[in-house]
Every structure is written in structure tokens, then in C-alpha cells.
């Protein structure tokens, strides 16, 4: 299978945590978690069973650079013909693609107003507006015809970006657009139109201590085997609700080799969450094991250099495979402490309290701090999620 790496795409991103610091970041993450816990769809992330999903596609796989803006990931997306470029957040926890939070929509000859309305609620914001179909360009060889997009007339909570590129399960679009049972995602349509050969995406991020740097790639329609080491191990998506409504898996978490802080349970993998969130009991066990204290300025756990020297790895058991999350992976990049409103040289941990007790059906969120250390494959076609190590799983960049 061929892989085309698309280079030279312009990026314009901002630090979403710069104004409110880590406390705002925590509020966003926890509000998003509460939205997940409330559930959205009773169907779960099942693929379409339409003929276009059963047919053999002639497409290949294509890879696009994405950028790390300190707390979120964004990419440039073209809408219309000629295309207007928009900076969109990549979100595996939602599935609608929309624009208009900042730069206005510029209709062209390919634009069509469907007459439908769109309303999407996020943990840290909302959008409402009209639905259009239009040509959407993710890259030179990734052009989608007649893609549903929302055009926001009102959007709150999306400062510094133009909207969302939704790559979550299609079921999450139910009830968001009037007169429409479900809205095919960009990945769905790339597959249906024969552009890609698999209804899946692969995500790679390289840990970085510099903000606003192009350090990741998203591959539509397959995987990029130059970005991971060993094999991609796939696990079926969890059947436990509400995690089953999203990219949910079952996992356990141990601190060191003998201290299980989270028994095997359901949770989600989510690009839109910044931190690694654990159910309250697991978080408390982690805090006790590390000796960390809560920093009043940032709201994050903080440890001394002496404690960091003794910090043990976290071990994630997913589908019988153990993945090591090193001490360095557990801390916020010290060179980016200013984005948290934190002190230079201080050591902040990225493990935080989910804000709910164990047993809710969603007991963890592996956010972008976790995603930076592993290659992940979101496989809609086979209702599974894949994880692999990368050359940066053991990086010491933080």
C-alpha cells in the first residue's frame, strides 16, 4: 500500500491554554469528560453496513502533517473551489466537521445550502448554524466531494481556531443535523468515494518541547509503517457504555510493576483531551504512590526533582499487551511551563482527576499527552483500535 506524505501545508495555530493557564485547561478537559460520561448515542461506534462499505476500494492511504499547538492539534483544511483554508481542531471525540468560529465561510460554485440546521454541544463549547455540502480538501490527493459541513452562526469556546475536523464514530452525528439521521464523516466519504482503501485513520505525534511545530501526521485510509516500531496491536472497541459511544477500549493501569491503580475497565482514547485523566480512586492512588502535591496555581500535580528521579513508569495493559508510559512521558514539557501559567523549572504531572468515581463505564481518558508516545489507529470498518510503540515512546524530551 502506498503512502503519500503531504508536505508544506501552512499552519496557523495558537495556544488555547495561554490565557487561562492550566486551570482553564483542566476545566476544559473535565467539562469534556462530563459530556462523555453523559453519553450521546446508544448505538456505539458501529460502521455503516451499506454497500459502499462492503465494496472493494481502489484508493490507497494518504498522510497529512498536523501541528502541536501546545494543548491541541490542528490542521489546515480547504473548503470550496477555489478553497479557503481553515485551521481546524482534530477531534476523535466528535464527528461533525464545521467552520466559521473565526474566519467566515466563503461559498463558491461547489457550495450548496441544504436548508438544514446544525447544533453540536461540546464539553467546553457549543456551535450552531446551517449545514452546507461542499468540496473539502485535506491535501492534494485527499479531496472530498459533497461533504457535509456546518457553517457556524454562533460558536463559543473555540478561540484561535476556525472549527472542528470530526473524525469520531459516525453515530455521534445523530441528532446534530435537522432532517438527517446520520452525517457521513470525512473519513467515511473518503472511503465511499474510493479515495482511500480502508475506513480508518492512523495518528502519529512526536513529543515536542516547542509549541506550534509540525510534529505529527494523520494518515487517512491506512497506517504509515515508518512511524511506528513493531506491530500494531488491535483490540475490539469496548461494549461498556458510555465509553462504547466513542473510541472506547478496556485497559488496566499499574504504577510500577506491582501496584495496580486502575483495574481493567472501560474508557476512551481522545485527541481532544489534553491530559491523562483517571477515575478519582485511581488518581488518588497515583498521587499517593508518587508523593505529588497539588499545585495551587495550575491545579496540576507537581513533584520535586528528587521525586522525579524516583518516579516509576505507568504500565497500560490493553488487550493483553503492556505499554510502558515512562516517567518522562508523565510530565508536562518543562520548556512549555509558561503555557500553563506555571513556574520555570517546576515539574508538573499530566495525570489528573477525571472527576468521577470508578465504575461509571468511562474510567479513563487517554488524551494527547498519552497519544504523543504511541501510534494509534482508529479503525471504523472493523470497530477496533490499534496501538503501537514509536521511536519516541521512550523519549526524554519533556
Using DSSP's 3-state secondary structure scheme, residue 371 falls into helix
Q: Do 153 and 101 touch, CB atoms closer than 8 A? A: no
Check residue 107 and give its pLDDT: 97
Q: Do 228-389 and 61-218 fall under one CATH topology?
A: yes
Mean pLDDT of 277-298: 97
- Indicate which residues carry an active-site annotation: 91, 270
The percentage of the chain sitting over the pLDDT mark of 70, rounded to a whole number, equals 85
Residue 44 has pLDDT above 90, yes or no: no
- Per-residue pLDDT band for 52 (boundaries 50, 70, 90) equals very low
Q: What does the pLDDT look like over 204-222, one tens digit per residue?
A: 888 877 666 667 888 888 8
Mean pLDDT of 160-186: 92
- From 3.30.390.50, 3.40.50.460, 2.40.70.10, 3.40.50.720, which CATH number describes the 228-389 domain? 2.40.70.10
| Low-confidence winner among 58-62, 162-166, 246-250, 271-275 (lowest mean pLDDT) | 58-62
DSSP labels, 120-153: EEETTEEEEEEEEEEEEEEETTEEEEEEEEEEEE
Check residue 118 and give its pLDDT: 97
What are the residue ranges spanned by the domains of the chain? 61-218, 228-389
Mean pLDDT of 269-289: 94
Residue 71, phi then psi, degrees to nearest 5: -135, -10
Q: At which residue does the C-alpha cell 446520520 appear?
A: 182
Cell of 80: 470550496
Residue 18 has pLDDT above 70, yes or no: no
Check residue 339 and give its pLDDT: 80
Residue 66 has pLDDT above 60, yes or no: no
Residue 241 has pLDDT above 90, yes or no: yes
Check residue 328 and give its pLDDT: 97
Check residue 2 and give its pLDDT: 37
Check residue 48 and give its pLDDT: 33
Q: What does the pLDDT look like over 122-132, one tens digit per residue?
A: 877 899 999 99
Residue 100 has pLDDT above 90, yes or no: yes
Check residue 70 and give its pLDDT: 47
pTM: 0.84
d(CA 119, CA 156): 12
Q: What does the pLDDT look like over 108-146, one tens digit per residue?
A: 999 999 999 999 988 778 999 999 999 999 988 899 999
Check residue 174 and give its pLDDT: 92
Helix, strand, coil content of the chain in percent (nearest 5): 15, 40, 45
- Per-residue pLDDT band for 75 (boundaries 50, 70, 90) equals confident
Does 63 sit behind a cis peptide bond, omega within 30 degrees of 0 on the bond before it? no
Does 218 sit behind a cis peptide bond, omega within 30 degrees of 0 on the bond before it? no
Using DSSP's 3-state secondary structure scheme, residue 199 falls into coil
Q: What does the pLDDT look like over 373-394, one tens digit per residue?
A: 999 999 988 999 999 999 999 9
**Mean pLDDT, rounded, of the chain:** 86
Q: Specify the fold of 61-218.
A: Cathepsin D, subunit A; domain 1 (2.40.70)
Please choose, from the candidates 376, 364, 375, 393, the residue with its C-alpha nearest in 3D space to the C-alpha of residue 29: 364
Q: Cα 179 vs. chain centroid, distance in angstroms?
A: 28
Q: CB-based burial of residue 102 (10 Å sphere; 0-12 exposed, 13-18 middle, 19+ buried)?
A: middle
Amino acid at each position: 500500500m502506498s503512502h503519500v506524505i503531504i508536505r508544506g501545508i501552512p499552519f496557523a495555530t495558537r495556544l488555547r491554554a495561554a490565557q487561562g493557564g492550566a486551570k482553564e485547561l483542566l476545566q476544559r478537559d473535565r467539562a469534556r469528560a462530563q459530556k462523555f460520561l453523559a453519553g450521546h448515542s446508544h448505538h456505539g461506534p458501529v460502521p455503516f453496513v451499506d454497500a459502499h462499505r462492503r465494496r472493494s476500494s481502489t484508493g490507497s492511504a494518504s498522510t497529512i502533517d498536523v501541528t502541536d499547538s501546545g494543548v491541541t492539534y490542528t490542521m489546515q483544511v480547504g473548503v470550496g473551489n477555489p478553497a479557503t483554508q481553515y485551521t481546524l481542531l482534530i477531534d476523535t471525540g466528535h464527528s461533525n466537521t464545521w467552520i466559521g468560529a473565526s474566519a467566515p465561510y466563503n461559498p463558491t460554485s461547489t457550495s450548496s445550502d441544504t436548508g438544514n440546521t446544525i447544533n453540536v454541544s461540546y464539553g467546553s463549547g457549543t456551535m450552531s448554524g446551517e449545514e452546507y455540502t461542499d468540496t473539502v480538501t485535506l491535501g492534494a490527493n485527499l479531496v472530498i466531494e459533497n461533504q457535509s459541513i456546518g457553517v457556524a452562526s454562533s460558536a463559543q469556546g473555540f478561540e484561535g481556531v476556525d472549527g472542528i475536523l470530526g473524525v469520531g464514530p459516525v453515530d455521534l452525528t445523530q441528532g446534530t443535523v435537522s432532517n438527517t439521521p446520520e452525517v457521513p464523516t470525512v473519513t467515511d466519504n473518503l472511503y465511499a468515494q474510493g479515495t482511500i482503501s480502508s475506513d480508518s485513520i492512523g495518528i502519529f505525534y512526536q513529543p515536542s518541547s516547542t509549541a506550534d511545530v509540525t510534529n505529527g501526521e494523520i494518515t487517512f485510509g491506512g497506517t504509515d509503517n515508518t512511524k511506528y516500531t513493531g506491530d500494531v496491536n488491535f483490540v475490539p472497541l469496548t461494549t461498556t457504555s458510555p465509553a462504547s459511544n466513542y473510541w472506547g477500549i478496556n485497559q488496566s493501569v499499574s504504577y510500577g510493576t506491582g501496584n495496580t491503580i486502575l483495574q481493567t475497565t472501560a474508557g476512551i482514547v481522545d485527541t481532544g483531551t489534553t491530559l491523562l485523566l483517571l477515575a478519582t480512586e485511581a488518581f488518588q492512588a497515583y498521587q499517593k504512590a508518587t508523593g505529588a502535591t497539588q499545585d495551587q496555581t495550575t491545579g496540576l500535580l507537581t513533584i520535586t526533582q528528587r521525586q522525579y528521579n524516583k518516579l516509576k513508569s505507568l504500565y497500560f495493559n490493553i488487550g493483553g499487551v503492556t505499554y510502558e508510559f515512562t516517567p518522562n512521558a508523565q510530565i508536562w514539557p518543562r520548556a512549555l511551563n509558561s503555557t500553563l501559567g506555571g513556574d520555570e523549572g517546576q515539574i508538573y504531572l499530566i495525570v489528573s482527576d477525571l472527576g468521577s468515581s470508578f465504575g461509571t463505564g468511562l474510567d479513563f481518558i487517554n488524551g494527547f499527552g498519552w497519544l504523543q508516545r504511541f501510534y494509534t489507529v482508529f479503525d471504523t470498518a472493523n470497530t477496533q483500535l490499534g496501538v503501537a510503540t514509536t521511536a519516541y515512546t521512550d523519549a526524554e524530551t519533556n
